[in-house]
Structure 1
Amino acid sequence: MSCPSLLERSLQYLEENDERRAGGMLVWLFLLLVRWLVGLHSYSGEHTPPMFGDYEAQRHWMEITINLPVSDWYFNSSSNDLLYWGLDYPPLTAYVSYLFGRAAQVTEPSMVELTSSRGYESATSKVFMRSSVLLCDVLLFIPAIYYVARALYGAKQWTQRTAFVVLVLLQPAVLLIDHGHFQYNNVCLGFTALGVALILQGHEFLGSVCYCLALNFKQMALYYAPAFGVFLLARCFYRKQCILHIVKLAIAVVATFVLMWAPFCAYPSAAESCLSTLTQVVHRIFPFGRGLFEDKVANFWCIADFALKIRRHVTPELQMRLCTLMTFAGFSPSVIDLLRRKPTNLRFVLSLAVCSLSFFLFSFQVHEKSILLPLLPISFLFAHNALLAGWFGVLSTFRFDHYGCALEANILFAN
């Protein structure tokens, strides 16, 4: 920006007076304070039985993972009713739930008692749950954004780096969805950001591992897959020993997935084989049977349904094909460009933004909270277009879906 903002002027003052360490500490404390204050508000589904909301889903997964063997986590049973917030995210989400569940078992056992803890909402359990999200930010998301800032700005531009960190980490959508509504999206985003930073600095192997961890936490990280895959492949083409680099990346991907999924085969149930258990996990993660318009839809199909009446006239199978075709059409120019020209860091970030936006707009079962996925790489463009990145962060906070498909659903039922 041509004219320094108040934030930049304040940071410049600290830098000129050799107070960078104190300034960094103030930034950290401010970021944590804002997150904690957001958490003082109500959350998704508070005091609203029978399902209670996403807060209850996260608590319920802690309950399931510490009380049932790993082989039963994704199967329906008398102790694990999949219609009541059954696990539908990849294994790393379950493992994180297990760790927090063990901690909850020590601090407040009744919070994670099997079945009887449904809808549990004590004051201390709320503090525990809010603290768990904050801990994920402290250990992963905030450091990852710092690392991205260092990769983008270098070691010397302290003012620009710190301003970038503040602007990214104080975006309303980032704060409200995880610390208000209540979810752990920043774990997935943190691994993704760390992967991007590592790749920008030339550490493709570790960057691939981090991205695979993001995929194993939330399947929506697939929004970034075309950009990650094609960019890394294109980089290999411009290096000596191309095949060796490709093999290294393949090892990173395979090893990470084997590590994440191996427990389901290492500890199988008596009734299920390793293959059937893995198949059930995949089925839970990708529930195509729910249809395109399951629950709320926040993308192009929500608007298109008004004019085209897709739900009435298009079969679910054709809906899926249309989603796939439109999504590929959306991101193809970006990944083709990565192959046609020498891949640069800026083209990588732009491709991440284009691919994730394409998935958000056209793919299958996109809910409003998925806006965080394109928001992350677009935020990385602050250095190149602060106006675009800033306004996108503001606009992404508004939930247009409630005025779209929800209204259309009411009209359909009324007719």
Structure 2
Amino acid sequence: MESQSTQKLKNPPKPHNPISELWWFFAAATCVKLLLIPAYRSTDFEVHRHWLAITHSLPLSQWYLDETSPWTLDYPPFFAYFERFLSIFANLIDPQMVHLQNGLNYSSDTVVYFQRVSVCVSDLCLLYGVYRLTRNLDPVRRKLIWVLVVWSPMLVVVDHLHFQYNGFLLGVLLISLSYLEEGRDLMGGLVFAVLLCFKHLFAVAAPVYFVYLLRHYCWKGLVRGFGRLLILGTLVVAVFAVAYGPFVYHGQIKQVIHRMFPFGRGLCHAYWAPNFWVFYILLDKVIAFLLGRLGFKIQAPAASFTGGLVGDSSPFAVLPQITPAITFIMVLLALSPCLIKAWRDPRPMMITRWVAYAYTCGFLFGWHVHEKASLHFVIPLAIVAVQNLDTARHYFFLSIVSCYSLFPLLFESQEYPIKVLLLLLHSMLMWLGFSAQFTKDKTLEMAPSGKNKDSHLGLNRSVTAAQKGGFDIGWVVWSYLVGLLLVEIWGQFLHPIFLGAELPFLPLMLISVYCSVGVMYSFLWQLKHILVS
């Protein structure tokens, strides 16, 4: 009889291929998304359909001038090119879909299926980004990140129900970060420049990229450093030239910039976006109310924070007005500790954490912030979450808060079970995944002496905590999450019983304020860990 070793030589085990497993994760997620095709869709659905019509029916020189519909094109040129590419297939399927005049608010079954499927297909970019960032990790961490990103309930809610293409854009961001983590700074900077030409709101992380690339890639002596800076600058300029060059040629660049930066829209995009300005607006309301009770004549804005209107914000009743310049300064001030850290110690493995922190700053203090922008920091933080127990605890908390803050986007009753089940399933999978990871860590990373064998390198400092019981989040986080449940019970069930139609703004205001507390805590937590890392 042949020995076992001889048999293994004749029949060696097949090499492990993580991409095949990732495809199964992606397929399962896609099946769920396809089942949701008939579900709720927001005005963004018509926005993107109209953009298909604009880019298909008009010459490029007219794209940013068209006012056939209120939903004018306001994304950078690469996204307009992307819509033009999609319109080729849309025209083959249903020409009415890309008809500029007669197609307004056109929502046939062909439109619904085409646009829903286009988002699913564009998610392949997210799949590739996740693959690049996780291909060298151990199987437990790799699969956990797949669950957190590919099965993200926030992406399902925003992209596949509400309707946008965030998965595609976040995939480009993850590809850029993967190159930076590999030390391929030139490619990382190039891909990020491409991303900015798809959606300019990602520019909040541009200062982090600039400081990191200048220090890590270009700071190599006078001659060599200048040469690298010239190469990097040339590539970035080339990307922007390809994107904006045709519009410069047609004398349309001012109109493009005006559409991309509509500062006249006001400080807040929607009153439930959980950021710092919620506290400012609420304080303005409280002071105005108290002054009114004291006999002062306070003129309330026409469309107030609590009036239930989504759109332009009105001037504040009492507090000083906030301008775009003020929000810009506040974002930069919040970013400054991270920029200093990136300059002093530009480590590739920290870049994802720094970028996530940058988007947190932009979300909290930026101008006209969309509530959906929380995806910009939640998805990158999923990559960081598997590094240690403390970060995993924080991500568990933040992802639940951020996902719950999106509940008001799906306000129709038939979607209520969907969003609740998505959040509950996500929470359960996170708990099981983090528990499996840190139970594994406590058995694999301990030396015979009982001490962490990597402690002299400062690695995985959470193993001791993991030994004490695996994954746990502590009573403070549990208390906060129970508070989320109470907020939801009040808004969904108790408010209609006790107050009926009175104070209709109160449930959404409670969601906004309560989730803002959680996001502010996350900002402070991230800042602390950046300073001490």
Tell me: CA distance 1:118–1:406, structure 2 relative to 1, closer, same or farther (3 Å). farther
1:335-391 per-position Cα deviation (integer Å, ceiling 9, x unaligned): 111112x21123322211221111100010001011111112211212222222233
Map 1:276-315 onto structure 2 (within 5 A): 277-296=252-271, 298=273, 299-308=275-284, 311-313=316-318
Structure 2: runs of 5+ lacking an equivalent: 1-12, 286-314, 409-504, 511-533
- Tell me what 2:171 maps to: 190
In structure 2, C-alpha distance between the alignment counterparts of 1:18 and 1:222, rounded to whole Å: 38
Instruction: Identify the match of residue 133 of structure 1 among 119, 130, 134.
Output: 119
Structure 1 counterpart of 2:277, one-letter code: W
Instruction: Identify the match of residue 54 of structure 2 among 43, 60, 64.
Output: 64
Identity of aligned residues (%): 28
Instruction: Identify the match of residue 132 of structure 2 among 124, 147, 153.
Output: 147
In structure 2, C-alpha distance between the alignment counterparts of 1:23 and 1:373, rounded to whole Å: 26
Instruction: Identify the match of residue 365 of structure 2 among 362, 365, 370.
Output: 362
Tell me: CA distance 1:104–1:337, structure 2 relative to 1, closer, same or farther (3 Å). same
Map 1:21-100 onto structure 2 (within 5 A): 23-44=21-42, 53-76=43-66, 80-81=67-68, 84-100=70-86
Tell me: CA distance 1:131–1:149, structure 2 relative to 1, closer, same or farther (3 Å). same
**Displacement of 1:302:** 2.1
Structure 2 counterpart of 1:149, one-letter code: T
In structure 2, C-alpha distance between the alignment counterparts of 1:122 and 1:286, rounded to whole Å: 32
Answering whether residue 365 of structure 2 is matched by residue 390 of structure 1, we say: no
- Tell me what 1:399 maps to: 405
3-state SS of the aligned residue for 1:398?
helix
Q: Which moved more, 1:179-188 or 1:254-263?
A: 179-188
In structure 1, C-alpha distance between the alignment counterparts of 2:507 and 2:342, rounded to whole Å: 35
Answering whether residue 320 of structure 2 is matched by residue 337 of structure 1, we say: no
Tell me: CA distance 1:386–1:293, structure 2 relative to 1, closer, same or farther (3 Å). closer
In structure 1, C-alpha distance between the alignment counterparts of 2:338 and 2:18, rounded to whole Å: 39
Structure 2 counterpart of 1:30, one-letter code: A
In structure 1, C-alpha distance between the alignment counterparts of 2:385 and 2:41, rounded to whole Å: 30
In structure 2, C-alpha distance between the alignment counterparts of 1:25 and 1:90, rounded to whole Å: 31
3-state SS of the aligned residue for 2:367?
coil
In structure 1, C-alpha distance between the alignment counterparts of 2:261 and 2:396, rounded to whole Å: 33
Map 1:79-228 onto structure 2 (within 5 A): 80-81=67-68, 84-138=70-124, 140-150=125-135, 154=136, 157-228=138-209
In structure 1, C-alpha distance between the alignment counterparts of 2:19 and 2:196, rounded to whole Å: 35
Q: Which moved more, 1:186-195 or 1:15-24?
A: 15-24
**Displacement of 1:300:** 1.1
- Tell me what 1:11 maps to: none
3-state SS of the aligned residue for 2:354?
helix
In structure 2, C-alpha distance between the alignment counterparts of 1:185 and 1:24, rounded to whole Å: 19
Tell me: CA distance 1:215–1:62, structure 2 relative to 1, closer, same or farther (3 Å). same
Answering whether residue 239 of structure 2 is matched by residue 256 of structure 1, we say: yes
In structure 1, C-alpha distance between the alignment counterparts of 2:359 and 2:399, rounded to whole Å: 15
Answer whether contact 2:269 2:369 (CA < 8 A) is retained.
no
Tell me: CA distance 1:371–1:22, structure 2 relative to 1, closer, same or farther (3 Å). closer
Tell me: CA distance 1:190–1:404, structure 2 relative to 1, closer, same or farther (3 Å). farther
- Tell me what 2:356 maps to: 353
**CA RMSD across the alignment:** 2.6
**Displacement of 1:406:** 7.2
In structure 2, C-alpha distance between the alignment counterparts of 1:17 and 1:101, rounded to whole Å: 41
In structure 2, C-alpha distance between the alignment counterparts of 1:380 and 1:328, rounded to whole Å: 24
Instruction: Identify the match of residue 379 of structure 2 among 362, 365, 376.
Output: 376
In structure 1, C-alpha distance between the alignment counterparts of 2:138 and 2:509, rounded to whole Å: 49
**Displacement of 1:117:** 0.8
Report the number of matched residues.
367
1:50-97 per-position Cα deviation (integer Å, ceiling 9, x unaligned): xxx010000000011110111111114xxx33x610011111111111
Tell me: CA distance 1:103–1:357, structure 2 relative to 1, closer, same or farther (3 Å). same
**Displacement of 1:160:** 2.6
Structure 1 counterpart of 2:254, one-letter code: T
1:234-264 per-position Cα deviation (integer Å, ceiling 9, x unaligned): 1035535222221121112101000111222
Answer whether contact 1:192 1:214 (CA < 8 A) is retained.
yes
Map 1:316-327 onto structure 2 (within 5 A): 318-327=322-331
* Structure (1 or 2) with the larger CA radius of gyration: 2
What TM-score comes out, normalization by structure 2 length?
A: 0.64
3-state SS of the aligned residue for 1:39?
coil
In structure 1, C-alpha distance between the alignment counterparts of 2:14 and 2:242, rounded to whole Å: 48
Tell me: CA distance 1:199–1:62, structure 2 relative to 1, closer, same or farther (3 Å). same
Structure 1 counterpart of 2:198, one-letter code: F
3-state SS of the aligned residue for 2:40?
coil
Answer whether contact 1:89 1:218 (CA < 8 A) is retained.
yes
Tell me: CA distance 1:93–1:381, structure 2 relative to 1, closer, same or farther (3 Å). same
3-state SS of the aligned residue for 1:43?
coil
What TM-score comes out, normalization by structure 1 length?
A: 0.82
Instruction: Identify the match of residue 220 of structure 2 among 217, 239, 263.
Output: 239
Answer whether contact 2:183 2:348 (CA < 8 A) is retained.
no
3-state SS of the aligned residue for 1:121?
coil
Answer whether contact 1:234 1:343 (CA < 8 A) is retained.
yes
**Displacement of 1:39:** 3.4
- Tell me what 2:445 maps to: none
- Tell me what 1:328 maps to: 332
In structure 2, C-alpha distance between the alignment counterparts of 1:360 and 1:401, rounded to whole Å: 17
